[in-house]
Structure 1
Amino acid sequence: MSKNIIIAGVLLCLFMSQITFGQVQVKSTAMKQAIIFRPNQDAIRGKLAEIGEEYIVVFSSEREVTIPFADISRIILTYERGSGRGPIYGAVLAGYAGTLILTRSQDHGGFVESRDLSLYLLVVVPSIALGAGIGYLVDPGSVQKEEVFDFTGSGEAKTGEKSRLLRAATHESRESKVHITFQGSHVNSNMPKLNLPGSSTSYDYNTISEFNWLRKVQVTYSVVPEVEVGVALVWFSEPPQFSFGYETLGNSDSKSYNGFQSFEATGKYIVALYKPLYDLLDPRLDLKVGGGFGAASIDYSRTTTVWAYTQSGTGSQLNSSFSVSDNFVVAYLFVQLEFELVDGLSLGLVADKVFGPSRDAPAVSEANIPPQTLRFHNTSVGFTISLHF
């Protein structure tokens, strides 16, 4: 289900990003050099600044010249083909895929055991290098290209040439419309600690960190420069808790305790975000405030085992378990500060909160666990890596 939502979101964003003909301004940093030929008149050389329905605007010798398409016979356009972003896209996607495969194979969600960090380096670093290499093969960089557009044909042919000109002039100069964001975060747990009598509680019993490398993956489309809409998949699970303990009672009796608690949750959201300082900040810097609603699958489990031993050598065992497995409607909010490191790649800082339901868990008197309220929501602070298309 989650895969279908992400795929649908990507296809929708790509569909919405298709070029439609109309008045388009070319970014000043990416204007293409053009030579405009007119019958029985001198050619005009300059930078193509604007393409309208019936005209083009060219900056020539520090002058702005508006030329109707009706007066144009041919245009020679010189431009750079290829973005050179292939290595960046390949490295990020391959690194994320390597992390996803490793964390999922260990059944800890996006949480990593510190003893396996060397394994992660051995797998993820080569994945990044391989992805960058494949990306370079697909898109090694920009090469200069010269293209001729002929406006001497029929009306239908002229319309086709206008569309070709528009695509060539704006292919590398349009604002990015589709954004894919990966988030890793330190999770602030809301689960009660699993403290057992005489316990040596270890929240990191297997040295599992509280940092979720797979907190969120999000795909959005820019409706307008200040607003994006899309879909997000948020893993708001928390690290598992292990606890064990031993205590000696009177008359040489004793008890030992063992407990385990896990909370796994995945939310699928329709999201929207707004850039409140879009006109005030540096163009490379964005402050984003967003959120959404969706459905979440929640799986919670708590098990305890108590062994009682008597002086005579007899013993008994008491097992207790409680679980919640259901789907709920949840909400999600986040604030993100993002900096465009290079064209097509941004790094950012993010803080978020997942709003979920609460459930009451019964007491386990034999293990001195009181009645508890389980809050299936949490907050996190972390980083983001975003790709822009």
Structure 2
Amino acid sequence: MSAPNKSYDPVEVTSLHPDEVARMRAEALAAIEAASSLDELKQTRLAHAGDRSPLALANREIGALPPHAKAEAGKRVGGARRDVSEALKRRQAELEDERDQRVLVEEAVDVTLPWDRVQRGARHPVTTTAERMTDVFVSMGFEIVEGPEVEAEWFNFDALNFPPAHPAREMQDTFFVESEESGLVLRTHTSPMQVRALLTRELPVYVVCAGKTFRTDELDATHSPVFHQMEGLVVDEGITMADLRGAIDAFVVGMFGEGLRTRFRPYFFPFTEPSGEVDMECFVCRGASAEPGGEPCRTCRSEGWIELGGCGMVNPRVLIACGVDPERYSGWAFGLGVERTLMFRHGVEDMHDMVEGDVRFTRAFGMEI
């Protein structure tokens, strides 16, 4: 093994020559100063201060020098690398400061703008409409009652005179809980409250009930599998259809204004006899659209009348099922659609708007309490 070369001149190593070290230092400092962003400075750091940079490679050559030459070469290269490192720190601080100042300008927040970015909601118009409807009857002395949405078949069908083979008792029309043998359904109407009210209250009974009902309908512009009804029931001595007509007329005035006529059309419901469908005169055109030469009306489709719901005198079989003497007592009942009333009052044309939960729809009706 040969002895170390004690006469090796570092000047002969090109990368360690004073002029070459000065050139590499100058190039590094120029590149650092020219970096206009933090990303560019990162690339410059890798090129001029990284492990494969010219000064780092020159520093490796020092190990091959004789002892007496290492000190001078190390001082020369180390000084250049120190200058480059300090220049990188200064430029890093300058670019970070420029970035922060730019962010303050570009992402400035105007504290005078409204601070609440979350839109305020509102009570759902179906809720407020149901309350308005019940308020009309409360003002006439009625009591508000509530009942379960999961109902026994006996309350939903049997006690209301629905025969065992009635189509409504099949799964394609009614949501059964678990199975048809369970005897539990999602109530298809609010009429079970007629039975519950008669079984739990002393006569006479004057009650209204508004709530959700469920049927196996597809969701479209005018139908929904979940909708709301308001049920009304009166059972007292001497009650007649004239009392029913007066209550319906009072409801129409309370919800739609004075001067609107109503009419009854014969119909059939298992739990009322006689039964009828209730129509009211269109509150927009006042029936004029149905007259010859009348202007078309979108609300009533130029028919002059709007269907409200079903009604009739309580079937004696329902009274008997509830332990009420039909020879002494009589009564009437009605069922009105809450969504239908909302659509009429406010010109809502699509059921989707009521169920999709868009706050822009509910806010249009205000913050009613």
Q: If the length of structure 1 is used for normalisation, what is the TM-score?
A: 0.19
Q: Which one has a larger percent strand, Structure 1 or Structure 2?
A: 1
Q: Which one has a larger percent helix, Structure 1 or Structure 2?
A: 2
